[in-house]
Structure 1
Amino acid sequence: MNWSGAYTWINLNYLLQGLWITIQISVISIILSSIFGAILGIIRYSKISKVSAFVGFLVDIVRNLPLLLILFFSYFGLPQIGIRFSTFSAAIFAFTIFESAMLAEIFRSGLEAVDKGQTEAARSNGLTYLQTLRYIVFPQGLKKMIAPIVSQFISLVKDTSLATIILLPDLMQRAQVIYGQDTNYMIPIFILVAATYFVVNYLLSLFAGFIDRRLKN
């Protein structure tokens, strides 16, 4: 097995470029899905007549669709109605849509986990609904959301590898290109890619643990 041939600087540099794309996709999708997920989760929590039910219906649809199907639709389906994305934009669109739905449920569950007495006490002390949500419910609910949110982010980083199906030149796709040139490189490249995903996700989990401890203090 030619391990040294697999780990040439050219191959490593090629993979690093793919890792950078993976990180960009992940970070942008995490930011956007966090914003949209929080908005959708709050709408569901607020029980706004008909609006909350409609949002819940859409969220349930997306949550029960395969991410791969959403990727296919974003890159191959939308052009049929005149909406064209690059592979990079299509991946961000698909991941944001999917993760927003997943996070919406996490936000809703976290907010509903806060003792109703907290809300009643805040309202009886003159706080408006939005003030109660902002200063009382959301901060307490956030502490309960950290673990599942980070778990979802870790899943997102791993799921970016699915974007190879639309030829996004990320870490996984570039790994396929390398071992496609020489099948002897397959195992060493797989080991390197697996180690890279592990390090990225492990650092993310450590950061989450730090944030969790800060919130509990």
Structure 2
Amino acid sequence: MQTFIDAYSWLNLRYLLQGLWVTVEVSVISVILSFILGTILGVIRYSEIKYFSAIVGFVIDLIRNLPLLLIIFFTYFGLPNLGFKPPVIAAAIIAMTVFESMMIAEIVRSGIIAIDKGQMEGAQSNGIGYWTALRIVVLPQAMKNMVPALVSQFISLIKDTSLGTIIVLPEMMYHAQIIYGQNTNYIIPMFVALAVLYFIVCYALSLVGKYFERRLA
């Protein structure tokens, strides 16, 4: 018990919460960017634009089948060789956004496919253009069905930020490693603290998802 008391000193907790802030910061920015980019890519792939949709589909399939860790490595260690050296936090956001947007693109495409084709045909028969009908008729309906899958993907993104420790991203996991690296007796207390903090953040997001599910039902 004394080990836990010592491990949870205000100094250690404050340091851990600083890492939590970075985790939340990277997650929120990545979620917003990946949702925007993923929605655009999903619509493009669904729309079957000649050649372009095929190229986008190939890129989506390629990146979806790569490990996120490889993308993080490439972003941080590979891009400098191409003349672009992003800071650690920016590199993590770029890697997360690229990977997650491909996942979201498939969710969006599947969500649109699930909508009855009569919705699009009905809108077009009333003189609404294809892209306008897709934006104001089909996509809003598809989004209702996509909420659970999107929330699950965003929760995965939050947990995947822990991979940023590989490039010394000062997020929650990295800060915990620093703390128990100074005293190995703090390993279990830090793991418990990490589990609680990840649960709080992810569960809060799941509650937000359920709220939107009810509102959109």
Partner SS, residue 83 of structure 1: coil
Distance 1:84 1:94 in 2: 13
Residue in structure 2 matched with residue 62 of structure 1 by the alignment: 63
Residue in structure 1 matched with residue 96 of structure 2 by the alignment: 95
CA deviation after TM superposition for structure 1 residue 97, in Å: 0.3
Distance 1:74 1:122 in 2: 43
Once the two structures are superposed, the pairs formed by residues 4-153 of structure 1 within 5 Å of their partners are 4-153=5-154
Distance 1:193 1:112 in 2: 39
Task: Report the TM-score, using the length of structure 1 for normalisation.
Answer: 0.98
Distance 2:27 2:171 in 1: 11
Distance 1:162 1:108 in 2: 28
CA deviation after TM superposition for structure 1 residue 188, in Å: 0.7
Task: Report the TM-score, using the length of structure 2 for normalisation.
Answer: 0.98
**Alpha-carbon deviations, 1:9-45, whole Å to 9, x = none?**
0000000100000000000000100110011001001
Partner SS, residue 35 of structure 1: helix
CA deviation after TM superposition for structure 1 residue 81, in Å: 1.4
Distance 2:94 2:196 in 1: 27
Residue in structure 2 matched with residue 203 of structure 1 by the alignment: 204
Pairwise CA RMSD: 0.7
Distance 1:69 1:51 in 2: 26
Structure 1: gaps spanning 5 or more residues: none
1:135 aligned partner, one-letter code: I
Structure 2: gaps spanning 5 or more residues: none
Distance 1:188 1:18 in 2: 16
Q: Structure 1: which 4+ aligned runs deviate by more than 2 Å?
A: none
Aligned residues: percent identity? 59
CA deviation after TM superposition for structure 1 residue 121, in Å: 1.0
1:59 aligned partner, one-letter code: I
**Alpha-carbon deviations, 1:187-208, whole Å to 9, x = none?**
0110011110001000100000
CA deviation after TM superposition for structure 1 residue 3, in Å: 1.0
Residue in structure 2 matched with residue 184 of structure 1 by the alignment: 185
